[in-house]
Amino acid sequence: MDEDELRRLRSEFPILSRKRYLNSCSLGALPTRGEEALRRFAEEWHEKGASAWYDAWLPAAEELRERVARFLGATPAELALLPTTSSALSVLGESVDYGRRNRVVVTELDFPTQIYQWAVKSEVELVVLESPDGVRIHPEQFEEAVDDRTAFLATSHVFFTTGHRQDLGVLADIAHRAGAFCLIDGYQGAGQVPVDLAESGVDAYTAGPLKWLCGGPGLAYLYVRRERIAHLHPRITSWFAHERPFDFDPHHFAFRTDARRFELGTPAVPTIRTALAAQKLLDPVGMEAIAARNRHLTRRLVTGLEERGFRPNISPEPERRTAIVLVAHDEPARAVEILDGEGIVVDHRPGHVRVSPHFYNTEEEVDTFVEALDRVRAQPRP
């Protein structure tokens, strides 16, 4: 990505001219074309009323499904549109029989919604792997815990807590050797690191437009590998999962044969519009270029922090680091508030300030954050 390309891309994100925005793992920046898409959505609503479903909104959902599937190395038939990651995990969790295999293996570094899915099921024996260094889980830990009683190996692609990226191929192999299903929460992976789901071997992967894909809240993407779909029978469902939803047949229900069998009703059209607009922006940039830039910015961020004596809580394996960096801090909420007053947007998690640059950020923004955090440390409490 050269300077001109970067300048052009940055001009698409209004927040970048107002703030030093370094919080994309929480919420990706909204591009102007996303805002225009929202206006178009409202105009279609005014102009066409319900016929907008057929002329514009359902076709837009299919275009989004196709683009996202391609972006993630999957096919449109393997992708379901759901409202949230939690609902995507729930519907899969309700798609198997725990009679013969009742163990689910997760980790303490996963986003809690992943863990809660199984914690509420009394028939499930939940194993929560603990991280020896607070940053990653070793593949051998999964190997030890996943056995012939295991229904799901369920964990994250990139840990939201530490940015450590797990190897999907290794996880899928461990699950499959034991006959278990490999379910990955990829919310912090898709859009910040390259994802090739066909090649990865995982059985299911959840993602969404909210964060690194810059498409806003209201939708999640659930990938289920083609060969697995027919074996899964969700116990929560909707008319969208029916093979012929527009028959409105009250007497007969049959699941679709593609991933739409996991859908739970009408999707959020405003988000389909914003997510599609953002996807059209990201597709030509390409995931390799985005990831390369994120690696560059993260290296600079980590070096800058370490030079000033901060301790970023990052993976000890440099090739597994991503653009989510947590910095140990005594008063993270106060630091984030002071930085916000200076127009620098980052976030905090218990005991840490969390920074997440994306491809559209500059070296100057990263350096300014590091200098400001250093200054905050020296600032006496009011």
Site residues, ligand PLP (CB under 6 A): 84-86, 111, 113, 156, 160, 185, 187-188, 208, 220
CB 91 → ligand PLP: shortest distance, Å? 12
Cα separation of 179 and 61, whole Å? 34
Cβ proximity to ligand PLP: between 95 and 114 the closer is: 114
Conformational region of residue 307, where left means phi above 0, alpha means psi within -120 to 50, and beta covers everything else = alpha
Cβ proximity to ligand PLP: between 9 and 118 the closer is: 118
CB 114 → ligand PLP: shortest distance, Å? 7
Cβ proximity to ligand PLP: between 75 and 113 the closer is: 113
Give the count of beta carbons closer than 10 Å to the beta carbon of residue 326.
26
CB 164 → ligand PLP: shortest distance, Å? 12
Check: CB of residue 275 under 8 Å from CB of residue 216. yes
Check: CB of residue 65 under 8 Å from CB of residue 276. no
Cβ proximity to ligand PLP: between 207 and 301 the closer is: 207
CB 135 → ligand PLP: shortest distance, Å? 15
Cβ proximity to ligand PLP: between 131 and 368 the closer is: 131
CB 215 → ligand PLP: shortest distance, Å? 13
Cβ proximity to ligand PLP: between 84 and 315 the closer is: 84
Strand partners, 343: none
- CA 328 from centroid of its chain's CA atoms: 24
User: DSSP letter at 317?
Assistant: S
Check: CB of residue 235 under 8 Å from CB of residue 301. no
CB 93 → ligand PLP: shortest distance, Å? 13
User: DSSP letter at 133?
Assistant: S
CB 38 → ligand PLP: shortest distance, Å? 20
Cα separation of 114 and 84, whole Å? 12
CB 109 → ligand PLP: shortest distance, Å? 10
Cβ proximity to ligand PLP: between 44 and 117 the closer is: 117
3-state secondary structure 260-286: HHHCCCCCCHHHHHHHHHHHHHHHHHC
Residues 6+ apart with CB under 8 A from 315: 135, 136, 162, 163, 164, 165, 321
Cβ proximity to ligand PLP: between 26 and 368 the closer is: 26
Side-chain-side CA neighbours of 62 within 13 Å: the count stands at 7
Residues 6+ apart with CB under 8 A from 233: 95, 255
CB 86 → ligand PLP: shortest distance, Å? 3
- The amino acid that residue 351 corresponds to is G
- Opening angle at CA 169, ends 213 and 198, nearest 5: 60
Cβ proximity to ligand PLP: between 41 and 187 the closer is: 187
Strand partners, 242: 255
Cα separation of 359 and 351, whole Å? 27
CB 250 → ligand PLP: shortest distance, Å? 31
- CA 168 from centroid of its chain's CA atoms: 15
Cβ proximity to ligand PLP: between 28 and 332 the closer is: 28
Residues 6+ apart with CB under 8 A from 280: 33, 67
Phi, psi of 80 (to 5 degrees): -110, 150
